[in-house]
Every structure is written in C-alpha cells, then in structure tokens.
Amino acid sequence: MNSLAKTFVLLGVIFLLIGLFLTVGARFKLGRLPGDIIIKKENFTFYFPLMTCIILSIILSAFFWLYRFFSGH
C-alpha cells in the first residue's frame, strides 16, 4: 500500500474507534463503571476512574498497535 492509502485506512480506523467509544460510552455510562473509586464525605468527594482508565488504556494501546502495523515501523 502506498502512503496515502495507509493514511486513509488509519483515519478510518480512528473514526471507527471514536464512534464505537462514543456509542458504547453513552450506553454503558463510561466514567461511572464498577471499579471506579468514589469516596464521599460531608464536604468532600474524591473520584478516581480506575476502570475507565484501564479501558481507555486498552483502546489507546490497540490504536497505537494498529498505527505501527499500518505504518510499517
């Protein structure tokens, strides 16, 4: 594949992943998943989205793997 074709394939994959993330995020309310840490006190709330961070890490790892695969590095 030439460089322009690889770029278009990569852009297509990026848009596909963004669309899937937005669709799944709206349906499953990403950001309030089981595994996210929420500590509520009287005047204090601490929220750490642990599971959300893990899911985003997996998605970004897949994205960069696809980038390296299609770019030939």
Provide the 10 A C-beta neighbour count for residue 67.
14
| Per-residue pLDDT tens over the stretch 50-73 | 888 898 899 889 988 888 888 776
| Per-residue pLDDT tens over the stretch 1-52 | 688 888 888 888 888 888 887 787 667 666 677 888 999 999 999 988 888 8
Predicted local confidence at residue 58, as pLDDT? 93
CA atoms within 13 A on the CB side of 56: 10
Residue-number span of the structural domain to which 45 is assigned: 3-71
Q: What is the tally of structural domains in the chain?
A: 1
Give the tokens for residue 5. Answer: 């074709």
3-state secondary structure of 33: coil
What one-character DSSP code corresponds to residue 38? Answer: E
36 φψ region: left (φ > 0), alpha (ψ -120 to 50), beta (else) = beta
